[in-house]
Amino acid sequence: MTAFRAQRGRLAAGGAALAGIGLLLGGAFLGLAWEAAASWEGALAAFDGYLLRVTRFTLWQAGLSTILSVGPAILVARALARHPRFWGREFILQLFAVPLALPAIVAALGVLALYGRSGYFAPLFAATSGDMWPGIYGLSGILIAHVFFNLPLATRLCLASLETIPADQWRLSAQLGMGAFASFRFIEWPVLRASLPGIAGLVFMLCATSFTIVLTLGGGPGATTLEVAIYQALRFDFDPARAIALTLVQVALTGTIVLALARLGASTMGDASLPVASRRALFPGAGEKVLNTTLILLALLFVAGPMLATVVAGLAADLVRLAGERPVHQATLTSFILASLAAVLCLMVSGALIMTRRALELARGARIPGFLERMSDSGAAMVLIVPPIVIGAGWFILLLHFGDVFAFAPAMVVAVNAVMAMPFAVRVIRPAYDAASARHEKLCLALGISGWNRFRLVDWPALRRPAAVGFAFAMALSLGDLGVIALFGSDDVRTLPYLLLQRMGSYRTADAAGIALFLAILCLGLMFIAGRLGKSRT
Amino acid sequence: MRTTTTIPVVAFGLFAAALPAAAQDTLTVYTYESFTTEWGPGPAIEEAFEAECDCDLEFVSVADGVALLNRVRLEGENTEADIVLGLDTNLINDARETGLFAPHGISLDNIDVPGGFEDEIFVPFDYGYFAFVYDTEAIDTPPESLTELVEAGSELGIAIQDPRTSTPGLGLLLWIKAVFGEDAADAWSELRDNVVAVTPGWSESYGLFTRGEVPMVLSYTTSPAYHRIDEDTDRYRAAAFSEGHYLQIEVAGRTVKGQDNALAGEFLTFMTGPGFQDVIPETNWMFPAGRTSEPLNPAFDDLVEPAETLLFSPEEVAENRNAWVDEWLSIMSQ
């Protein structure tokens, strides 16, 4: 009886969290269904050539981005694996983790500052070829930005799987005098082959749902993905019927990809924990050394380029004036408030789900997990099927019936960002909670500690650090997000990414560059703190 | 855990601050972005009107004119807007049909625009002719007609605006319809090769142009006057097209909500007078729709004069806009 009572609080918390997520997703789909029922003819008519072309472009650019990211990533990862003592290797790997933490709009701006027609690269090109640099609006810009994000990610993931090759095999290959090619074929490829579908699937998913990059670098209807088209249908066209058709296709598409990924057993989060490189008996030839060094340097140049451009362009901006501007202050404050609230909400929801899952696991003993337990387990990852823009679009259409949609901006941003960051927070906090629970569960029962007292005295000390990591992570994610705010943003509620988008729009590139640098520092700072806290477990 | 308690308090303060202090003394004007920037007409007009009315004039801006209409539609009866400023004649039928606008109730005697204008609800405040503006340092021989531009091939990069958000974007759509008629779709298929960027608003396109990202941009015959007067340079010019240029008359209207605000009527009257009109030519870079207290800067006399003025009636536009925009979208997404 006491045991049951002890679980009840945790179950209620999890139930409430699941209900909250259900409400968020359900509300979005209700909005879509409501409008679809009211204007089903319009929605049906929107399944036209435009929809087909947008879908085709979405898949096409995602496919190309995947090939261009993963292909070179294999080579670079291999080069790094075969040179465990490459000069600056640690630094390069650290640098390759940065794009993951960088807000997409900052990266887009960095890519533009470097490769745009008036970017740093253009005069160089003009001087060497005599021709005018054609610029990068459209497909080329989208591809460059996607590769900038995903080449380092894929490299780290490939490297992580290469690092699982036992040292014996490397030694054996050296003893047998295997050359680079033979060693690739017999040692490296079998390992890579197993992990490649998952890596490629993840990159494809990220590119197929990319919003900010396509919005800022697409350059027009010729290069529009489903997500951008949904945004445009609502904000440009005031055409909910078209938005519904696009949303249905988007959900079907991401649903298929996520299912396929689950089949492949791939991680949908995409981070690699790289072990310290083991001692390896590797004796690459001189030719291979040169080739590998070139590969690594090229990749380094490609990844570091836009980052450097962001810093240089940012420092060239009138930072003093920007720092004194009221809109900048307000956007910073709004961003911080919304991101903090989103992070708090994210922790609450994640914590509730984690506790419920654990409580259910304890209660069932060895039986098969029930529905609620499975929902509180993998249910968290399910939200990734429904992109933020889709949730935003559904609510946007629903809220049209209740007056000024823009007034709901803060609530929408907080809720959607909290839920989007949840899978990551769950992954950080759950191991710590489950471990603490395994240690203390019996003791708590024996002493009759439960509810709030138990949380405060027993669980919290063990959770403090992972919770802080989750908080910093969720906050960074929310700070840099330009999804829901693109739909709901207005002059009244502006976050830093939204202000950045506005400044880009009103040809104040220098301002945009300055804000981008500021935003990048904020997000990277938070990620750095999260990383530090995560590592130094005491 | 002090932070968790202060955050909601600060949050509340922030949102409370966003609400208008006292609805009675405030006039809220929705307009497009380039109007409210510090180099646009917004600041000077705000100062002039506030001096006259002893009130607070507040601008809320969106990307461009069509987005402005969509924004008001989205907000419906709950809109904060008393005045919506920056629609054009192509949109007034759609705007009227929303039922969100109220008659202006003022005299339009001061208003003088090409072809004349009479309407119960909307009041013109400026006008201009769409034109492609080019950089003489990047283009030696500009196209001399819309047909030449369409046939120029991808060598000649242009930035245009999206007709779903922007009135110049919609203007180009109508311009091409007016010139090519049935063959407009083919013209767009050809023109697509030239289009480097389609931006949501005019200011974004013009930014690409002045930064050198594109050598030619969809703008107005009056744009070169800005570079002449403010920057003292002849570098940027408008290309005169033999088929004629499409006319844009920009209008403002009072919302149903604004009907209760005495300041709204006051503002519309003010808008037709010199306090507003004097500001327009050299900040919005358009021709004033009313009398100015002094003649325009001579730079305005040197501009391209349209061989012919093209304009569809608001009814024709209202009837076809959705179909034409869909057609455009379908071609441009290929």
Inform me whether the C-beta atom of residue B58 falls under 8 Å from chain A C-beta atoms: no
Per-residue confidence (pLDDT) for residue B6, from 0 to 100:
41
Q: Is A333 in Cβ contact with B203 (below 8 Å)? A: no
Backbone angles phi, psi at A485, to 5 degrees: -70, -25
Q: Is B201 in Cβ contact with A117 (below 8 Å)? A: no
Token pair belonging to B89: 């004649």
Å between B329 CA and nearest CA of chain A: 7
Instruction: Give Cα separations from A34 to A28, A39, A43, A129 (angstroms).
Output: 10, 9, 12, 57
pLDDT tens profile B137-166? 989 999 999 999 999 877 888 999 999 888
Given a cut of 50, whether residue A317 has pLDDT beyond it is: yes
Beta strands of A353-400 (E only): which ranges?
none
Residue A48 with chain B: CB contacts under 8 Å:
326, 330
Contact residues of A toward B, CB < 8 A:
48-50, 53-54, 57, 116-118, 135, 137, 219-222, 224, 232, 235-238, 333-334, 337, 340-341, 344, 400, 403-407, 410, 490-493, 502, 504-509
Per-residue confidence (pLDDT) for residue A485, from 0 to 100:
87
Residue A459: DSSP 8-state: I
Of A312 and A531, which is predicted with more confidence? Answer: A312
Backbone angles phi, psi at A16, to 5 degrees: -65, -40
Per-residue confidence (pLDDT) for residue A185, from 0 to 100:
86
Residue A344 with chain B: CB contacts under 8 Å:
4, 7
Per-residue confidence (pLDDT) for residue B20, from 0 to 100:
44
Give chain A's mean pLDDT: 84
CA separation for the pair A519, A311 (Å, rounded): 11
CA separation for the pair A135, A277 (Å, rounded): 40
B69 by Cβ neighbours in 10 Å (0-12 / 13-18 / 19+) ranks as buried
Nearest residue of A to residue B326, measured between CA atoms: A50
For the ranges A177-186, A468-477, B80-89, the maximum mean pLDDT occurs at: B80-89
Given a cut of 60, whether residue B314 has pLDDT beyond it is: yes
The answer to whether A370 and A364 have CB atoms below 8 angstroms apart is yes
The answer to whether B247 and B115 have CB atoms below 8 angstroms apart is yes
Residue B80 with chain A: CB contacts under 8 Å:
404
Q: What is the mean predicted confidence (pLDDT) over A287-304? A: 90
Given a cut of 90, whether residue A33 has pLDDT beyond it is: no
CA separation for the pair A478, A489 (Å, rounded): 14
Give chain B's mean pLDDT: 87
Confidence of residue B80 (pLDDT cuts 50, 70, 90): confident
Instruction: Give Cα separations from B286 to A397, B36, B156, B300 (angstroms).
Output: 37, 15, 26, 10
Indicate the residue type of B137: E
Residue A235 with chain B: CB contacts under 8 Å:
67, 70, 165
Per-residue confidence (pLDDT) for residue B278, from 0 to 100:
94
A427-431, B53-57, B82-86: least confident range: A427-431
Q: Considering chain B, what percentage of its residues have pLDDT values greater than 90? A: 57
Neighbouring-strand partners of residue B245: B309
Q: What is the mean predicted confidence (pLDDT) over B11-26? A: 49
The answer to whether A183 and A166 have CB atoms below 8 angstroms apart is no
Given a cut of 80, whether residue A269 has pLDDT beyond it is: no
Given a cut of 50, whether residue B10 has pLDDT beyond it is: no
- First vs last C-alpha separation in chain B: 55
Q: What is the mean predicted confidence (pLDDT) over A437-459? A: 84
Q: What is the mean predicted confidence (pLDDT) over B277-298? A: 92
Instruction: Give Cα separations from A220 to B36, B85, B198 (angstroms).
Output: 25, 26, 4
Given phi > 0 = left and psi -120 to 50 = alpha, else beta, which region is B244?
Answer: left
Residue B198 with chain A: CB contacts under 8 Å:
219-222
Tell me which residue of A464, A442, A452 sits closest to A362, measured CA to CA: A442
Per-residue confidence (pLDDT) for residue B21, from 0 to 100:
42
Facing residue for A341 by CB, picked from B7, B197, B214:
B7
Q: What is the mean predicted confidence (pLDDT) over B257-285? A: 92
The answer to whether A72 and A158 have CB atoms below 8 angstroms apart is no
Nearest residue of B to residue A54, measured between CA atoms: B333
Per-residue confidence (pLDDT) for residue A505, from 0 to 100:
67
CA separation for the pair B277, A148 (Å, rounded): 49
A67 alpha carbon, distance to own chain's centre:
19
Place of tokens 């030239």: B194
Inform me whether the C-beta atom of residue B94 falls under 8 Å from chain A C-beta atoms: no
pLDDT tens profile B101-150? 999 989 998 899 998 898 999 999 999 999 999 999 989 999 999 999 99
Q: Is B66 in Cβ contact with A404 (below 8 Å)? A: no
CA separation for the pair A501, A388 (Å, rounded): 18
Per-residue confidence (pLDDT) for residue B9, from 0 to 100:
42
Neighbouring-strand partners of residue B198: B160
Per-residue confidence (pLDDT) for residue A274, from 0 to 100:
62
Of A180 and A304, which is predicted with more confidence? Answer: A304
Q: What is the mean predicted confidence (pLDDT) over A44-51? A: 83
Q: Is B76 in Cβ contact with A506 (below 8 Å)? A: no
Å between B308 CA and nearest CA of chain A: 30
Given phi > 0 = left and psi -120 to 50 = alpha, else beta, which region is B233?
Answer: beta
Confidence of residue A380 (pLDDT cuts 50, 70, 90): low
Per-residue confidence (pLDDT) for residue B8, from 0 to 100:
44
CA separation for the pair B216, B209 (Å, rounded): 6
Residue A502 with chain B: CB contacts under 8 Å:
33
Per-residue confidence (pLDDT) for residue B240, from 0 to 100:
95
Indicate the residue type of B192: R
Tell me which residue of A78, A63, A68 sits closest to A151, measured CA to CA: A68
- Residue B133's Cβ-side half-sphere holds a number of Cα atoms within 13 Å equal to 27
pLDDT tens profile B212-252? 888 999 999 999 999 999 889 999 999 999 999 999 999 99
Per-residue confidence (pLDDT) for residue A510, from 0 to 100:
79
Per-residue confidence (pLDDT) for residue A9, from 0 to 100:
75
Facing residue for B164 by CB, picked from A236, A334, A406:
A236
CA-CA-CA-CA torsion sign (B204, B206, B208, B211): negative
Given phi > 0 = left and psi -120 to 50 = alpha, else beta, which region is A451?
Answer: left
Inform me whether the C-beta atom of residue B3 falls under 8 Å from chain A C-beta atoms: yes
Helix (H/G/I), strand (E/B), else coil: A28? helix
Residue B210 with chain A: CB contacts under 8 Å:
507
A2-16, A215-229, A241-255, A462-476: least confident range: A2-16
The answer to whether A429 and A467 have CB atoms below 8 angstroms apart is yes
pLDDT tens profile A121-173? 888 887 887 777 777 788 989 999 999 999 999 999 899 888 888 888 888 88
The answer to whether A24 and A484 have CB atoms below 8 angstroms apart is no
Selected for mutation to probe chain B from A55, A217, A236 (highest B CB count within 10 Å) is A236
Q: What is the mean predicted confidence (pLDDT) over A73-88? A: 87
Q: How many CB atoms lie within 10 A of CB B323?
A: 9
pLDDT tens profile A335-376? 999 999 999 999 999 988 888 888 888 877 767 777 777 776
Å between B334 CA and nearest CA of chain A: 6
Inform me whether the C-beta atom of residue B190 falls under 8 Å from chain A C-beta atoms: no
Instruction: Give Cα separations from A236 to A171, B161, B165 (angstroms).
Output: 61, 12, 5
Confidence of residue B86 (pLDDT cuts 50, 70, 90): very high
Inform me whether the C-beta atom of residue B91 falls under 8 Å from chain A C-beta atoms: no
Nearest residue of B to residue A345, measured between CA atoms: B4
Per-residue confidence (pLDDT) for residue B326, from 0 to 100:
87
The answer to whether A399 and A448 have CB atoms below 8 angstroms apart is no
Residue A334 with chain B: CB contacts under 8 Å:
14
Token pair belonging to A101: 């933490």
Per-residue confidence (pLDDT) for residue A492, from 0 to 100:
77
Token pair belonging to A381: 């990852």
Confidence of residue A281 (pLDDT cuts 50, 70, 90): low
Residue A318 with chain B: CB contacts under 8 Å:
none
Given a cut of 50, whether residue A191 has pLDDT beyond it is: yes
B97 by Cβ neighbours in 10 Å (0-12 / 13-18 / 19+) ranks as exposed
pLDDT tens profile A479-502? 988 888 888 887 778 899 988 888
Say how many residues make up chain B.
334
Q: Is B61 in Cβ contact with A507 (below 8 Å)? A: no
Per-residue confidence (pLDDT) for residue A167, from 0 to 100:
81
Inform me whether the C-beta atom of residue B307 falls under 8 Å from chain A C-beta atoms: no
Å between B294 CA and nearest CA of chain A: 30
Per-residue confidence (pLDDT) for residue A21, from 0 to 100:
87
Q: Is A49 in Cβ contact with B197 (below 8 Å)? A: no
Q: Considering chain A, what percentage of its residues have pLDDT values greater than 90? A: 17
Nearest residue of B to residue A400, measured between CA atoms: B74
Question: In sequence order, which residues have a C-beta less than 8 Å from that of residue A213 and are 6 or more positions away?
Answer: A104, A107, A108, A142, A145, A146, A149
A386 by Cβ neighbours in 10 Å (0-12 / 13-18 / 19+) ranks as buried
Tell me which residue of A134, A131, A129, A105 sits closest to A117, measured CA to CA: A134
Residue A337 with chain B: CB contacts under 8 Å:
7, 10-11, 14
Instruction: Give Cα separations from A346 to A398, A416, A417, A537, B54 (angstroms).
Output: 23, 10, 8, 22, 47
